[in-house]
Amino acid sequence: MVSNCSSRGKPCDNRNMSDSCLQDKKLTRVVSLGDYNQAEVLVLDVADVIALEQRIAAAGTPLAELMDRAGTSLAQRVQEHAERAGGLQTIVVLAGNGNNGGDGWVAARELARMGHAIVLVTAKLPEEIEAQPARDAAIAAMKQFDELGVSVSVDPNEAELQGLLAPANIIVDAILGTGFAHDTVRAPFDTWITAANKRRAQGALIIAADCPSGLNAQTGSTAATCIQADETVTMITSKTGLHRGQGPEACGVLTVAPLCDFEPYFDSRTMGPHV
């Protein structure tokens, strides 16, 4: 697979990535997950990715289906880490109120099906979530959580959150997505980010959904509080800010989950690549 990760604008082969390429972008690797492997991993502006998603949906793959694939791909990647760590793990999923959080609800469902001990932390009950298709995904997942043994914590205080994170081997960051573009993160998510980073410093692994929470996926700038991920599983294709500024450091290893064959909907005249 070829990725446009070189700062000189030339693609590099990730199977034999040069030291200079790593130094340029602080990017360990880019690989594809799932059944939809692309010949090339593009780096697009956030607006272009949104337009691409809308074209895919208009052509017959609903956004709800893309979310289900995103959460499943995220869970698959977490499972690979768990297997290397020795098997079943205690995993905390931090799910925000938007569609990034929806990916987290789906991932929690899939990881529970794999047998992991799952705690999902949410600021709102599923019925209170306004974003779609995240609301429907959360409601559907919640109906299965009792049977799957998933524990849900709604709006925990700081001490409660730290207690939930204490036994976690892996933390899934599904708090804020690519639409975030602010200098500060609002409560309670600023506290969640700080607590997750603290647990990471104690040995837990953080896997981010689409982009680390607190990172501007367009510019690469970070808010005052930002997730420091060990790996970021970004959906459909990579985004400009993951390769600029503080993006590479915040993302850690970058993994691309294409979710579908988007090439028929990609317009090279108006869309990227942008690095």
pLDDT of 55: 86
Give me the domains of the chain, ranges plus CATH numbers. 29-261 (3.40.50.10260)
Residue 103 near residue 74 (C-beta atoms within 8 A): yes
Highest mean pLDDT among 18-27, 34-43, 94-103: 94-103
The edge-to-edge listing of strands for the beta sheet with 151-154 is 151-154, 117-122, 90-95, 170-174, 205-209, 231-235, 253-257
Model confidence at 159, pLDDT cuts 50, 70, 90, reads very high
- The C-alpha atoms of residue 150 and residue 226 are separated, in whole angstroms, by 27
Model confidence at 38, pLDDT cuts 50, 70, 90, reads low
Residue 90's φ and ψ, nearest 5 degrees, are -95, 120
Q: Closest by alpha carbon to 237, among 51, 63, 107, 12?
A: 51
Beta pairing, strands 90-95 & 12-13: unpaired
- The average pLDDT across 134-153 equals 97
The DSSP H or E segment spanning 163 is helix 158-165
Beta pairing, strands 151-154 & 117-122: parallel
| Each residue's pLDDT tens digit, 199-236 | 999 999 999 999 999 999 999 999 999 999 999 999 88
> Is the predicted pLDDT of residue 142 greater than 80, yes or no?
yes
Mean pLDDT of the chain: 84
